């Protein structure tokens, strides 16, 4: 499992947290470590997903994300 930190723009409330949580949880091979306003820490299986797919899932939920691999 690889780790990534997603920096997420546009989150401001609990609804935002739930929307991002649902979007990332729907991806195969993703384990959410923590989500808070503006950031999500995840682990993912490289065989099934990648940072681009993580960013796309968040974008589909209505937010802009940029992924950084490793811990920040």
DSSP state of 70: S
Which tens digit of pLDDT belongs to each residue from 21-61? 999 999 999 999 999 999 999 999 999 999 999 999 999 99
Q: What is the CATH number of domain 2-69?
A: 3.30.70.100
Q: Which range, of 7-16, 29-38, 61-70, averages the lowest pLDDT? A: 61-70
**Domain residue spans in the chain?**
2-69
Q: For the whole model, what pTM was predicted? A: 0.88
Q: What is the pLDDT of residue 70?
A: 59
Q: What is the DSSP letter of 23?
A: H
CA distance 72 to 68: 8
Looking at residue 71, its pLDDT comes to 46
Question: Which one-letter DSSP state was computed for residue 71?
Answer: -
Distances in Å between the Cα of 40 and the Cα atoms of 4, 53, 68 are 8, 14, 11
Stretch 3-16: mean pLDDT: 95
């Amino acid at each position: 499992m690889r780790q990534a930190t997603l920096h997420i723009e546009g989150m401001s409330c609990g609804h935002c947290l739930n929307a991002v949580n649902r979007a990332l949880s729907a991806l195969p091979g993703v384990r959410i470590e923590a989500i808070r306003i503006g950031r999500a820490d995840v682990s993912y299986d490289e065989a099934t997903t990648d940072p681009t797919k993580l960013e796309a899932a968040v974008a589909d939920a209505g937010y802009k994300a940029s992924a950084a691999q490793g811990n920040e």
